[in-house]
Amino acid sequence: MPPVSRISARRTLLGASAGLALLALTACTGQSVAGAGSAAGASATGGSGRTYALVVHSVPGDAFWDVVKTGAEAAGDSYGATITYQGDPDVQKQSQLIETAIAAKVDGIIVSMANPDGLRGAIADAVAADIPVITINSGAEESAAVGAMTHVGQSEYLAGQGAGTQLTEAKAKKVICVIHEAGNAGLEDRCRGAADTLDGSLTNLQVDIANVADAQSTITSALLADPSIDGVLTLNSAVGVAAAQAVAEAGSDAQIGTFDVSADVTSLIADGSILFAVDQQPYLQGYLPVDFFELFYTNGNVVGGGQPVYSGPGFVTKENADQVATFAGNGTR
């Protein structure tokens, strides 16, 4: 039996009595009743009472992951569920955080899978413990193989292709693609996709997201060392802002594209300092998994049909930057 089917079967048996007890109420009201799964008793308080662990590969204070967290907590509030959030860029420590969530017997685990091989064992342990897993952000291609219910994110390679097309339309011929997390397969896929559609050459440049000031210095040095560089593609909003500052410092005419949106990025797009941003809508990457877990518990739904649920890519340009800025300022884009 496939992992998702096995989880569904076991949890259905465990929740059968509670589900039957609530059936009459559901029929009379015409509404679904929260808590028909492992926390049925919590329905009396108006919430599911379930707990979901969000375990990601972030460094502290990363604006992107703050938006993911906001989305998950908003969904948790709407269902009366608790969201715990922890992150660590070290794959071994991220695995330990998953094991801690398993030991706490949470009702579901949402995990970003930047290093699928390094997380495979911990995710297998969650599935074996009948805890459903949804992967987000990175790892779409490996999600089903590790036993996850579905994946929420974007195809990083296809998003990279879109970025490469945008840079080609801007006449960029020599581009540096700035990777801010070593060993992150999703980031490498973005650069690879961009290289495949760029009508020119693309070279990867490694920086460290934990030190954005140093990343800015590294980009500045690259531009000064090779004035023929006419395009910079960054893969993170904070690094995108740093790249804009680096271009100004170097006196370069290089055009900048970035992945991910923030209030600063939308402002720089509006004034022409950044050409575009690839928006993977991180709010949805937090919100939708909680929604999917609740649908699973209350109605037996498994979303995705074995395929990823795409939250992007979309493109933010000068034409729509002001509109997106309103939402970015609210911390939801």
* Average pLDDT in the chain: 87
Burial of 278 (0-12, 13-18, 19+ CB in 10 A): buried
CA proximity to 179, closest of 168, 162, 195 = 195
Is 168:321 a contact under the CB 8 Å cutoff?
A: no
Domain 156-279+317-329 CATH (choose: 3.40.50.2300, 3.30.465.10, 3.40.109.10, 3.40.980.10): 3.40.50.2300
- What is the tens place of the pLDDT at every residue in 198-217? 999 999 999 998 899 999 99
Q: What are the CA-CA distances from residue 244 to residues 51, 205, 211, 291 (Å)?
A: 41, 16, 16, 37
Give the mean model confidence (pLDDT) for residues 271-286. 96
Is 327:169 a contact under the CB 8 Å cutoff?
A: no
> What is the rounded CA–CA span in Å between residue 65 and residue 282?
7
> What is the rounded CA–CA span in Å between residue 3 and residue 6?
5
Inter-axis angle of helices 63-79 and 282-299, to 10 degrees?
30
Side chain identity, residue 315? F
> What is the rounded CA–CA span in Å between residue 52 and residue 107?
6
Same fold for the domain at 3-154+282-302 and the one at 156-279+317-329?
yes
Please provide the CATH number assigned to the domain covering 3-154+282-302. Answer: 3.40.50.2300
- How much is the pTM? 0.77
Q: Helix %, strand %, coil % for the chain, to 5?
A: 50, 15, 30
- What is the tens place of the pLDDT at every residue in 17-64? 333 333 332 333 232 333 333 433 344 346 889 999 999 998 887 888
> What is the rounded CA–CA span in Å between residue 69 and residue 65?
6
Domain ranges of the chain: 3-154+282-302, 156-279+317-329
Residue 172 has a pLDDT of: 97
- What is the tens place of the pLDDT at every residue in 144-170? 999 999 999 999 999 999 999 999 999
